[in-house]
Every structure is written in structure tokens, then in C-alpha cells.
Amino acid sequence: MGTEATRTGIIDNARKSEYIHLKKDVYTILPKGISLIEALLRMEISMDKYKTSELGKALKAVYRGEITVDESVSLAEKEIAAVFASVRRQSPPETDVYDGFYRDEVGICPLCGGKVVKGTYGYGCLNYKEKNCKFTIWNTMCGRVIPLSAARSLLETGTTAKLVGFVSPRTGKSFDARLKWDPQSQRVGFDFD
Ligand SMILES: [Zn+2]
């Protein structure tokens, strides 16, 4: 992450932005951080140190008078345009994009019977504060958006239709699966049958 010179600043920013949390010398990732990384993966935006130094090269070239400020801006513009061109190319079908709005009702919580609504990072139970209910379906799982309709079906019937285009973060292979609620582990998991 970054270079030795920039790492401390990056970690500090990540902490201030609530992507990660520091407690007794141990960093843990927060939901917002997971959400960010999944978005970057989905948009194929590379944030590794080689990429960062590549972008830095343009700034150094301006400093040395090899290119103009305008030229460096147009390089950055091209870079950004390329990112969004690739996102458009692999946009999922219309029904699979983020749908619904913040606080849209999704269904009844299988853990506490409370109301599940769409939140910032996923579909969550409104009793999370009062009863410490931890029920959540994340907005994205394995690089794929979980649409509101799937979340509704999961709460109503305990399962969803087969969703295509998940990508295993471990193997990089794509796979299709239903989501199902497992009452035993009290988690939402994949169903490959
Ligand atoms: Zn609940």
C-alpha cells in the first residue's frame, strides 16, 4: 500500500475515512472499507503502488518541464475515462444494478422479527441498535451487486433465484449461485444445488 514515504499518510486517511479501525496496535477493516474495495474490484480500478507511482511520474515530468500542466491533466482525464469505459463495458443487466433507495423496506428480519431496510452497505435490521441485531445482507457479495429484489425474495422465501456472475476473491473464477438463509449458522450463504 503506497510507498514507504506515503504509507503512514494513507493509513491515517483510511482511519479518518472510517475504512479501517485501530485498536491496541491491531487494524481491522470496517464495512465502509469492504464496500470501497469491492467497488474498486468491480470497477477494475488498480490502486497498487506501481499505479500510484505511474501517476506520480506525470507530475514529476511537469516539474522538470518535460510536459505542460495541460498535458498532465489530459493524461489524467484519459486515465479516468478508461476506468469508466471498462465499467460501462461490463455493466450487469438492468435488473442487477444497484436498485432501491436508502431505507426502502425489504422484509422481516429472520433473527428478531424487526424490519429490514436498505442501508448504506447492505440490507440491515432496524433493531441493530436497540436489540443489537446483527442481521445483514451486504450490497455486494464476491464482486456482485445483490439487487433489492433478491434481498426481498431471500427474506420472504429463505432463498433467491440463481444469481450469475459472482467472482471468487480467492481463485478469481466466476460462479453462479442462489443465496440462502441458513438458520443454523444465522448467515446468508451460497447455495450451489
Ligand atoms: Zn433483526
pLDDT band at 120 (very low <50, low <70, confident <90, very high): confident
DSSP for 35-50? HHHHHHHHTT---SHH
**Cβ neighbours of residue 177 closer than 8 Å, sequence gap 6 or more:** 162, 163, 166, 190, 191, 192
pLDDT band at 98 (very low <50, low <70, confident <90, very high): low
What's the gap in Å between 89 CA and the centre of ligand 1? 38
Record the cell numbers describing residue 100, joined without a space.
432501491
What's the gap in Å between 96 CA and the centre of ligand 1? 25
What's the gap in Å between 94 CA and the centre of ligand 1? 30
For the ranges 28-37, 146-155, 179-188, the lowest mean pLDDT is seen at: 28-37
What's the gap in Å between 14 CA and the centre of ligand 1? 30
pTM: 0.53
Q: With 50 as the cut, is the pLDDT of residue 95 above it? A: no
Instruction: List the alpha helices (DSSP H) in the chain.
Output: 4-16, 31-42, 49-63, 69-89, 148-157
Identity of residue 138: W
pLDDT band at 157 (very low <50, low <70, confident <90, very high): very high
pLDDT at 87: 64
What's the gap in Å between 192 CA and the centre of ligand 1? 26
What's the gap in Å between 179 CA and the centre of ligand 1? 18
What's the gap in Å between 116 CA and the centre of ligand 1? 7
What's the gap in Å between 106 CA and the centre of ligand 1? 12
The average pLDDT across 124-138 equals: 91
pLDDT band at 68 (very low <50, low <70, confident <90, very high): very high
The average pLDDT across 16-42 equals: 85
pLDDT at 93: 46
What's the gap in Å between 79 CA and the centre of ligand 1? 43
What's the gap in Å between 158 CA and the centre of ligand 1? 15
What's the gap in Å between 148 CA and the centre of ligand 1? 17
Record the cell numbers describing residue 36, joined without a space.
470501497
What's the gap in Å between 159 CA and the centre of ligand 1? 17
User: How far is the C-alpha of 15 from the C-alpha of 158, rounded, in Å?
Assistant: 36
